[in-house]
A and B are shown apart, each in its own frame.
Chain A
Amino acid sequence: MKTFGGPVLFLDRSDINTDEIIPAKYLTENSKLALKPYILEDLKLPGFDPLRDTKGKGVVVTRSNFGCGSSREHAVWVFEVNDINVVIAESFARIFRQNMFNCGMLAIELPGQDIDALLSLGGKTTIAVDLDKETITARGAKEMTCKFALNSFDKDLVQAGGWLAYADKKY
Chain B
Amino acid sequence: MGKTITEKIFEAHRRDTPSDNNVVLDIDVVMCHEITTPIAINDLEERGMDRVFDPARIKVVIDHVTPSKDTKTATQAKILRDWARRQHIKDFFDIGANGVCHALFPEKGFIRPGYTVIMGDSHTCTHGAFGAFAAGVGTTDLEVGILKGVCSFRLPETMKITITGSLGKGVFAKDVILRIIKELTVNGATDKVMEFCGPVVDGMSMEARMTLCNMAIEAGATCGVCLPDRVTAEYLWPFIQDEYKNIDEAVVDFRKWHSDGDAHYFSEKTFDVSTLPPQVTYGFKPDEVKDITEMAGTMIDQVYMGSCTNGRIEDLRAAAEVLKGRKIAGNVRAILSPATPKVYSQAMDEGLIKIFMDAGFCVTNPTCGACLGMSNGVLAAGEVCASTTNRNFNGRMGKGGMVHLMSPVSAAAAAVHGALVDPREML
Chain A residues at the B interface, C-beta cutoff of 8 Å: 15, 17, 19-20, 23-25, 27-32, 42, 44, 64-65, 68-73, 76, 91-95, 98-99, 102-103, 151-153, 156, 162-164, 167-168, 170-171
Whether B190 and A65, one on each chain, are in contact in the complex, defined by CB atoms closer than 8 angstroms, is yes
Q: Which residue of A lies closest to B287 (CB)?
A: A15
Closest to A157 in B: B152
Q: State which size class the interface on B falls in.
A: 35 or more
- A103–B49 alpha-carbon span in the complex (Å): 18
Beyond the given A28-B70, A71-B124, A164-B147, please list 6 additional residue pairs across the A-B interface where CB-CB is below 8 A: A30-B75, A42-B399, A65-B186, A69-B391, A152-B18, A167-B150
Please provide the chain B residues from 203 to 244 with a CB less than 8 Å away from any CB of chain A in the complex: 220, 222
**Could you tell me the distance between the alpha carbons of A167 and B142 in the complex, rounded to whole angstroms?**
12
CB under 8 Å from chain A, chain B span 252-311: 285
Are B190 and A94 neighbours in the complex by a CB distance under 8 Å? yes
- B73 / chain A contacts, CB cutoff of 8 Å: 28
Find A156's partner among B18, B42, B191 (CB 8 Å cutoff).
Answer: B18
The stretch among B31-39, B324-332, B339-347, B355-363 that forms the contact with chain A is: B31-39
Contacts of A29 on B, CB cut-off 8 Å? 72
The verdict on B144 contacting chain A, using a C-beta distance below 8 Å, is: yes
In the bound complex, do residue A153 and residue B22 qualify as a contact, i.e. CB atoms below 8 Å apart?
A: yes
Q: Are B140 and A171 in contact (CB under 8 A)?
A: no
Q: A65-B187, A68-B220, A153-B19 are in contact. Are A163 and B140 (CB under 8 A)?
A: yes
A152 vs B187: C-alpha distance when bound (angstroms): 24
Question: What are 8 A-B interface contacts by the 8 Å CB criterion?
Answer: A23-B399, A27-B36, A44-B394, A70-B372, A71-B119, A102-B140, A152-B19, A156-B18
Q: Which residues of the partner chain B approach A31 to less than 8 Å between Cβ atoms?
A: 39
Minimum CB–CB distance from A168 to chain B (whole Å) comes to: 7
Given A19-B393, A24-B373, A91-B187, the answer on whether A73 and B136 have CB atoms closer than 8 Å is: no
A127 CB → nearest B CB, Å:
24
Q: Do B136 and A71 touch (CB < 8 A)?
A: yes
Check if B148 sits within 8 Å of A171, measured CB to CB: yes
Min CB gap B7→A, angstroms:
18
Q: Mark B137-155, 1 if CB is under 8 A from A, else 0.
A: 1111101100110101010
| With A73-B139, A163-B144: A171-B15 Cβ-Cβ less than 8 Å | yes
